[in-house]
Amino acid sequence: MKVLLILSVLFISACGPNYSNGDRIGVVTKLSEKGLIFKSWEGEMIIALPNTVSALNAERFTFNVDHEAVSKVKDAMQSGTRVKLVYRQWLVSPPTIDNNHVVIDVQPVQQSEGY
């Protein structure tokens, strides 16, 4: 019984939104609101070296967006400039979102930052 309780507590604590925190630098290329019942904002970023436009070698980063950061992600996508997306990662994401990464902030990239 105690083992089941301990395993339950560990599983529930691992399902929190702060399994991992981080940031990625790139250009936001896609943002859309999806869902029939539970709406969520989903996006995509291309991570590439500065001054390169090779989509063939670019890494794609897919993410969901926290409601408080939607306008910042929209602005970043419309500007087409490199930005830093600050995110938190779920170990087990809730069924209302498609990605484990949830963007919580967008920051401008300094010239010396990134690659």
Summarised one tens digit per residue, pLDDT across range 51-92 is 655 556 678 999 999 999 999 999 999 999 999 999 998 877
Q: Which of 6-10, 12-16, 32-36, 69-73 has the highest mean pLDDT?
A: 69-73
Q: How many angstroms separate the CA atoms of 63 and 43, rounded? A: 5
- Sketch the domain layout of the chain as residue ranges: 17-108
Which pair of structure tokens corresponds to residue 53?
A: 């436009």
Fold of 17-108: OB fold (Dihydrolipoamide Acetyltransferase, E2P) (2.40.50)
Residue 8 scores a pLDDT above 70 = no
- Predicted pLDDT at 95: 77
Q: Which of 15, 27, 12 is nearest to 97 (CA)?
A: 15
